[in-house]
Structure 1
Amino acid sequence: MARILVAGDQLVVRLVWWERAAARRSGVRVPLAAVRRVTVEPDWWRALRGTQQRGITVPGAVCLGVRGHQAGEDFVAVRPGRPVVCVELRASAPFRLLAVSSRSAAEADATARRLRGAAPEIDTSTPWRQPLPVPGESE
């Protein structure tokens, strides 16, 4: 199962061997300075947005890989029935959102707390994820 780790000044999404094969990538690394907001989504399906571009989706089992939408791309490693740690990223990062399932709500909360403490410039104005921008509107 995918995990979110902090390695130095990098946020790392580490994938197990079969997830690497399905997602066609070894993992994801982004600078902690690119982290904008960290939230926990108890409903796994709310973390998914856009359409599958690369990776695999097995309904009722897993959604893994890159999903595209009007604001860019998200990387997801989500399993149904599990809470999801959602990491919103700044525009300079390769993805707009990283969404990774956790084994339990307690593990998801602990991961989110650890990321909030490690990232230098977290936006704490709201505890919720922000909606995607509407095409034609400015941020």
Structure 2
Amino acid sequence: MVTLLLDQTQLEVVLSPLERVSTFRRENIRIARDTIAKVQLTDDAWTWLRGVPNPGTHIPGILAAGSWKAAGSLDFVLIRRHRPSVVIDLEGDDEFRRLILTTKHGLALTQALRLDVSDEPADVEEIVATSPIPVSKGSRRPVIRPRPA
């Protein structure tokens, strides 16, 4: 699983040595925070895969990793099996149009992007755990309690 670091200016996807080999990348992925247009959670990232590896690793149903080229756009993909994933659409990024990442921290990422964070990069799980999540009064659901027998 990738590690996601977030600060006020950028999202950094930290790749392990094995992930670097399978994606054919030497550096971590750094995305300017203002280029993130949309973040979506998915249970099956394979349906979001488009194009062909360029360069990348593809073992159908098991691993898709690296840059994927399709119709003039370039996506960064790191999908493992059929696990929860996050799809990040980008607008104005110099390198990629979309990131598709298998991570159990997708919900924490979406919550952390809504918060004001510090200047220092921090793991999205830590950001969400230490920051209060604002809840609007209109979004509270009524509590349903069982009736006594």
Q: Could you tell me how far apart the structure 2 residues matched to 1:71 and 1:41 are?
A: 24
* Residues 18-29 of structure 1 aligned to structure 2 (within 5 Å): 18-25=18-25, 26-29=27-30
In structure 2, the residue matched to 1:59 is 60
Q: Could you tell me how far apart the structure 1 residues matched to 2:55 and 2:85 are?
A: 20
**1:65-114 deviation line (CA, Å, top 9, x unaligned):** 000111410001111211111110003431000111013xxx32122222
In structure 2, the residue matched to 1:16 is 16
In structure 2, the residue matched to 1:37 is 38
Identify which of 108, 111, 135 aligns with 2:109. 111
Q: Could you tell me how far apart the structure 2 residues matched to 1:13 and 1:112 are?
A: 14
SS in 1 for 2:95: coil
Q: Is the 8 A contact 2:15 2:28 kept in 1?
A: yes
SS in 2 for 1:85: strand
Percent identity over the alignment is 29
Q: Is the 8 A contact 1:49 1:67 kept in 2?
A: yes
Runs of 4+ in 1 over 4 A off after TM superposition: none
Q: Is the 8 A contact 1:41 1:47 kept in 2?
A: no
In structure 1, the residue matched to 2:123 is none
Q: Could you tell me how far apart the structure 2 residues matched to 1:36 and 1:99 are?
A: 14
The amino acid across from 2:10 in the alignment is Q
In structure 2, the residue matched to 1:69 is 70
**1:32-56 deviation line (CA, Å, top 9, x unaligned):** 0111111112212122111111121
Q: Which runs of 5+ in 2 are unaligned?
A: 118-149
For normalisation by structure 1, the TM-score amounts to 0.74
Change (3 A) 1:8 1:43: same
The amino acid across from 2:109 in the alignment is T
Change (3 A) 1:55 1:112: same
Change (3 A) 1:118 1:96: farther
Which region of structure 1 is more displaced relative to structure 2, 66-75 or 3-12? 3-12
Q: Could you tell me how far apart the structure 2 residues matched to 1:4 and 1:35 are?
A: 14
Q: Which runs of 5+ in 1 are unaligned?
A: 120-139
